[in-house]
Structure 1
Amino acid sequence: MKPFIFGCLAFMALPIPAIAQNSFTQSNFGQPSTSANSGEIRAENCMVKIINSVDVPAEVEGKLMELKFEEGATVAAGDILAIIDDTQANFGVELKKAEEKEALLNATNEVNLEDARNSEKLARAEAEAYAELRREGAIPFWELEKKRLEAERGKLKIEVSEMQIQIAKVQFKGKETEREMAEAQLKKYRISAPFDGFIETRFAQFGGWVQPGTPIAKLVQLDKLRVEGDIDALRYPGQVTRGTPVEVLVYREANSDNAMSLQGKIDFVSSEIDLRNRYRVWVEIRNQQQGEDWTIKPGMRAEIIVKP
């Protein structure tokens, strides 16, 4: 038994390079690495992510009369995606236009003002004539006083007419604003794309009833994306800041040797450090469309290499 035990101990004491090397590789898997020659810092857990993704909502209540998109379509900002029945809203706009026109006519009507001015001239002339007659003793004092007061009343009528025109102008401004509000409300019956994007999902159905906030479609922006990753805060303190030049590698295939290289800079550095002593950074990248497809897609594996 003793030779057998000695042999086992000797076997256990022998070095096993292959096992030791594999153990080292596993312990460093997924950790950021720094090149000994260049001093590059590589962020870990990097992935392509979406910057803007929104469920485009309805803003008013009504029946969907038109759907102008399909899933997988690429749309531009401002493109009409759907139309809600706007019959009543159109009537409302026409009513406000008529009220605005009436208010404009009142605001520009100076007939009463001209009549007041003419009446004041006539009353003032009569008062002057009566004053002459009074000096000659042809009329009593009260007759002269009556004409003088009529002339003063004419001045007040002019002021009243001018005030009425000013009020009419203010009313016209109010009706103009009401018409603009009605037109703005009418636009809400046409649901448009808030930015250039890709229709990922269609929620609405033709002829369906929607409420304010009901999602119509999921719109994803693909012309601009970002690559997010984590930096070891303890290993590289203060070495990665906003504006730091970086190289971004995006892996579009399973082959890690075939990566798309993009130059950029750090656009965001998180102020928080997680429980693993890492903070988040991301780099904004431009995407290109090839036919109906996009070169880079969210979810692709990537790398952020911080330049020394």
Structure 2
Amino acid sequence: MMNTLAIALMTLTITGHQTDTPRGLLVIERASVKPIRSIQVPARQAGPISEIFVEENQLVVEGALLAKLDDAETLIRKLAAEGELNAARAQAEEDVEVATAKAAHGVARAEVDDSIRVNALAPGAIAGTELRRQELTEQRAGAQVKVEEVNFAVAKLTVSIREQQLALVNHELAERQIKAPWAGLIEKVIGEEGAWVQPGDPVVNVVQMDRLRVDAFVKADDVAPYELIGKTAEITISLPNGRKEKVIGKVDYASQVEVSSKDFHIWIEFDNVRVPLPESTKDSAVYFLYRPGMAAKVEIRMDDSQF
């Protein structure tokens, strides 16, 4: 008797979950509204939160600055890095030392050549020791040219190194800024100004609210996932006080993997509706008619007709 009752109850539950009507509708009685995207935006560096720029229920655009960690020390290191880069560029812009060394080498070479010509005209006029001294001076001047050329090349490399060091400091400054990864609504400010955070600690929760989706499960025995993609769906969403509103969407996703109950997952995206607020409400506050967590009923047209 108990087994018979259990089977009967299970049959009623499955029938209430999804029905297929003579009108060519696939009816899913129980579905739920969920956000398409929701994220707890984390800190990427360790340190105290110096400022929070947003409030709950405020809309933000992609890349909006949500909060900032203390960056006083990093700014000082940036100034130092900029100074070192400017100094390196000044050394690398002009090869004055190379030109001077080449000129000195030219003078030394000319002095040796003159002494050789003098001795050719008047042998012994320039003592051998003097000529060897001049030749040594010329060799040293030639070596100094190579030294200055190496120094100039190192100066150019130093500019590149200083540029990378400055880029690293700028990257750290950017990492201390907490920005919105995409446009959405500030659902909750988790962090507090002055509070110390570690990398990965959530600071602000951002939820996409202008567009939501309805999640539902379909019996795999009744329809294949590919048959639902692009089908028109009418979604009836349950609001407070027993009210219901209908929206139209299309099936955007159908899983090809069945769950243990032989159902597969689908979702249908739809546009949300902003609710007008009294003038006394904060200018930054925004509210929407449909919210994640609301119950919904889904009717899908299997014959490609419109609602």
CA shift at 1:196, angstroms? 1.8
**Could you tell me whether the CA contact under 8 Å between 2:226 and 2:254 is conserved in 1?**
no
Output one character per residue of 1:44-97: Cα deviation in whole Å (capped at 9) or x when no partner. Answer: 532211122222222333333322222222222222222332222211111111
Q: 1:45 aligns with which of 27, 30, 47?
A: 30
SS at match of 1:231: strand
Q: 2:201 aligns with which of 209, 214, 219?
A: 214
Between the aligned partners of 1:306 and 1:147, the Cα distance in structure 2 is 101
How many residue pairs are counted as aligned between the two chains?
A: 283
More deviation in 226-235 or 76-85?
A: 76-85
Q: 1:303 aligns with which of 293, 298, 302?
A: 298
Cα distance change of structure 1 residues 87 and 256 upon mapping to structure 2, 3 Å threshold: closer
Between the aligned partners of 1:57 and 1:145, the Cα distance in structure 2 is 73
Runs of 5+ unmatched residues, structure 1: 1-22
Counterpart code for 2:218: I
Structure 1 position 184 matched with structure 2 position 171: yes
CA shift at 1:27, angstroms? 6.1
More deviation in 118-127 or 150-159?
A: 150-159
SS at match of 1:240: helix
Structure 2 residue aligned with 1:69? 54
Structure 1 position 237 matched with structure 2 position 237: no
Between the aligned partners of 2:244 and 2:225, the Cα distance in structure 1 is 32
Between the aligned partners of 1:302 and 1:56, the Cα distance in structure 2 is 32
Counterpart code for 1:305: I
CA shift at 1:225, angstroms? 2.0
Between the aligned partners of 2:118 and 2:63, the Cα distance in structure 1 is 79
Between the aligned residues of both structures, percent identity stands at 25
More deviation in 230-239 or 250-259?
A: 250-259
| TM-score calculated relative to the size of structure 1 | 0.79
Between the aligned partners of 1:181 and 1:65, the Cα distance in structure 2 is 21
Cα distance change of structure 1 residues 28 and 112 upon mapping to structure 2, 3 Å threshold: closer
**Could you tell me whether the CA contact under 8 Å between 1:44 and 1:229 is conserved in 2?**
no
Output one character per residue of 1:226-281: Cα deviation in whole Å (capped at 9) or x when no partner. Answer: 2211121122235535x433224141537999532323242x22232112111111
Between the aligned partners of 1:55 and 1:173, the Cα distance in structure 2 is 37
Counterpart code for 1:216: V
**Could you tell me whether the CA contact under 8 Å between 2:217 and 2:263 is conserved in 1?**
yes
More deviation in 148-157 or 129-138?
A: 148-157
Runs of 5+ unmatched residues, structure 2: 1-8, 277-285
**Could you tell me whether the CA contact under 8 Å between 2:247 and 2:270 is conserved in 1?**
no
Structure 1 position 169 matched with structure 2 position 183: no
Structure 2 residue aligned with 1:56? 41
More deviation in 172-181 or 194-203?
A: 194-203
Structure 1 residue aligned with 2:70? 85
Between the aligned partners of 2:204 and 2:89, the Cα distance in structure 1 is 43
Between the aligned partners of 1:107 and 1:176, the Cα distance in structure 2 is 13
RMSD of aligned alpha carbons? 2.9
- Within 5 Å, give how 1:6-45 maps onto structure 2: 26=12, 29-37=15-23, 39-43=24-28, 45=30
Q: 1:139 aligns with which of 117, 126, 141?
A: 126
Between the aligned partners of 1:133 and 1:90, the Cα distance in structure 2 is 66
Cα distance change of structure 1 residues 252 and 296 upon mapping to structure 2, 3 Å threshold: same
Structure 2 residue aligned with 1:253? 239
Between the aligned partners of 2:136 and 2:234, the Cα distance in structure 1 is 90
